[in-house]
């Protein structure tokens, strides 16, 4: 049985006044997500924004204890941004200094094909690949790892990854923090539209591949 929006927001109330616990939790979850664990970054960002929204409405969601300090939305957004870039940089340096040794390990055999593919993208697009990987869930860890392994300059990686993170990370936290459950409707609509565009793009790619193999001229 799922939660209603009201029940979900009430559940977040218990954390809205435990600021340091939230900041630490964001850092730990972002590190885990950056290293490829199945913890969606977007879920952490939206949840963090909801906690901030709850903390800003003590009239609707009163603190459990009098004098409790609410979570600050700007600090939350800053912690999320720092955590994301820090995790990405750790993965980058892991690939830079230990990439070959890690990929040769037996337990990495199942992932080698994926690393080879993102390595090709890194060769082709250079520093811009780092930004593309930041917006591609599932490819962030192998992508940033490949950027380090392929010898991308540290300054270029940090610049591109930092700009990409600045566009996507604080905005998600602050939009939800200021508009609460209302903004989630638009997030859902946007994600449905995005999935539609991705599906169309995939169909176009498969059609081109089929036409190419069959010898049919491609427009």
Poorest-pLDDT segment among 25-29, 46-50, 84-88: 46-50
Nearest to 5 by CA among 57, 63, 50, 41: 50
Instruction: Round to whole Å and give the CA distance between 129 and 148.
Output: 11
pLDDT interval class at 92 (50, 70, 90):
very high
Neighbouring CB atoms inside 10 A of 122's CB total: 26
Nearest to 26 by CA among 64, 75, 88, 89: 75
Residue 137: both structure tokens together: 């869930």
Nearest to 75 by CA among 173, 161, 165: 173
What is the model's pLDDT at position 165? 93
Burial 150-176 (b: 16+ CB within 10 A, else e): bebeeeebeebbbebbeebbbebbbbb
Q: Give the model confidence (pLDDT) of 162-206 as tens digits.
A: 999 999 899 989 988 988 766 666 655 555 554 555 566 666 656
CB 165 within 8 A of CB 134: yes
Instruction: Round to whole Å and give the CA distance between 20 and 179.
Output: 23
Q: Give the model confidence (pLDDT) of 28-66 as tens digits.
A: 999 998 888 888 888 888 888 988 988 888 887 787 777
Biggest alpha carbon distance in the chain?
A: 74
What is the model's pLDDT at position 93? 94
CB 21 within 8 A of CB 15: yes
Percent of the chain residues topping a pLDDT of 70: 74
pLDDT interval class at 161 (50, 70, 90):
very high
Q: Return the residue matching tokens 């609460």.
A: 180
Residue 100 has pLDDT above 90, yes or no: no
pTM of the model: 0.75
Instruction: Round to whole Å and give the CA distance between 160 and 49.
Output: 25
């Amino acid at each position: 049985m799922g939660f209603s929006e009201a029940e979900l927001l009430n559940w977040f109330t218990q954390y809205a006044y435990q600021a340091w616990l939230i900041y630490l939790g964001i850092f730990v979850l972002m590190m885990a997500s950056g290293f490829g664990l199945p913890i969606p970054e977007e879920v952490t960002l939206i949840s963090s924004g909801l906690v901030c929204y709850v903390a800003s409405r003590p009239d609707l969601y009163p603190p459990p204890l009098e004098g409790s300090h609410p979570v600050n939305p700007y600090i939350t957004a800053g912690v999320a941004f720092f955590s994301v870039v820090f995790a990405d940089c750790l993965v980058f340096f892991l690939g830079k200094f230990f990439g070959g040794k890690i990929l040769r390990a037996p337990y990495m055999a199942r992932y080698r094909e994926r690393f080879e593919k993102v390595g090709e993208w890194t060769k082709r697009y250079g520093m811009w690949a780092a930004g593309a990987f930041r917006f591609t869930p599932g490819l962030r860890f192998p992508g940033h790892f490949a950027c380090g392994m392929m010898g991308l300059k540290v300054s270029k990686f940090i610049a591109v990854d930092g700009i990409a993170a600045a566009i996507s990370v604080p905005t998600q936290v602050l939009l939800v923090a200021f508009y609460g459950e209302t903004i989630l409707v638009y997030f859902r609509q946007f994600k449905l539209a995005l999935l539609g565009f991705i599906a169309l793009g995939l169909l176009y790619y498969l059609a081109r591949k089929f036409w190419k193999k069959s010898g049919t001229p491609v427009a």
